[in-house]
Structure 1
Amino acid sequence: MPGVNVILTNAEGELFGAAADTDGFYVISRVPGGSYQLKASFIGFKDFEQAVVMVAGEIQSLNIELVVDDTTLGELVVEGARETAGVANITAGLQTIRPADISLVPSPDISADLVNYLTALPGVVSQGDRGGQLFIRGGEPTQNMVLLDGMQIFQPFHIVGFFSAFPSDIINTADVYAGGYGSKFGGRLSSVIDITARTGNKRRFVGAATLAPF
């Protein structure tokens, strides 16, 4: 049997050993004469132990037969925590938009607008003034769900005036799911636009002014 460990131990605690080769043969050389305790061990088999007397300058042979150990081990539970440091957390079909991203898209007015950014994404087509109708992934406008801080907004892109439905000043993040969204967004087939508004300034009043030709 290959891999069996064979060890000789004398009274002084000195060890001499070898491992069986692929044919089950083992050779322990340069062993001083004297009394030894021989031990052979292998996983899944009972240990073999026998007292032997070695004679200096003499070659001795000993055939060892191991018996299968029928001991049943207890349940082994392995637990671990996955390390996520340095690993990108990517959700299929999700794109997170921030105000800095919106400002990079050219707009007909001087204020950044979420709708202008959405129409620049692949698979998004707008129809009407100021993106009055959004067709995403070939679906109807009614198949899009728009949420603002968890509250559903109906027909959010129809405002034709001096103000956009979602100016970048009020947006913290906007998660656009073009597919693969969870069951909590049930009821829509094309997309989900989950918008989180910025937290207001509780210490002082601030304001902003924008101008649009619509």
Structure 2
Amino acid sequence: FMRSIKILNALLLIGVIFFILTGIEGIYAEEQSASIPIWNGSWVSKEYHLLILQNGTSIVGSYEPKDIENRDPGVLKGTLSDDGRTFSGIWSESGTISLIMSDDMMSFSGTGSVDQNSNLTPFEYTRTGNRTSEGILQENPWSGTWDTIHNTYTLLQNGTTLSGTYIPKNPDADESGFIEGRISDNGKILNGSWFESGTFTFRISDDGKSFNGTYTHSLSESAINDTWNGEKIE
């Protein structure tokens, strides 16, 4: 009888240990899946081209309309679910959005709404999109959020190409816009153009936490260069 009790207690102890380990593994798996930047990259929907940067469980990004005359560009911001598959957030025209990634991580689908804070009539809509890149490696040093004297930049690096969006700190004095460029083979120099038809050349620091360079307000060869510096904040 005593032997049976000992065996029963041993089985119960094994069961408790298994339950605890299973729970720990589940939590660890959720943390790991949410930390993998599966949303990084470029995407296309029926109406927009999107650039998305994932930082842990946070998402920032930009979208550019295919029909620039009738739709406005903007930015996305939000958080991910524990498993990293569902993005919930807002877009810059004061609407909400929820997107779910497919099992093969090559497409998303979801719903969105435009609320009363927008200039548009409130409505709900569905949104689907497909991945157009293989993703952006987390170690690409230009990817991230950068702070400058006038704007905040969200940059997405994919190899030697880069796209991004910027938001002015004083929206009354300037407008949001987009930039795109190409990175030198050594990864240090970024050359490109920005939305209001200017050019820029930035050099990233050795520690990847800041850049300095010049920019212009014109594509003309005689355009005057002004200095421009930035620091990475994410």
Q: Which protein shows a greater Rg?
A: 1
Q: Same fold (TM over 0.5)?
A: no
Name whichever structure is richer in helix by fraction: 2
Q: Which TM bucket (shorter chain)?
A: under 0.3
With the length of structure 2 as denominator, give the TM-score of the two structures.
0.20
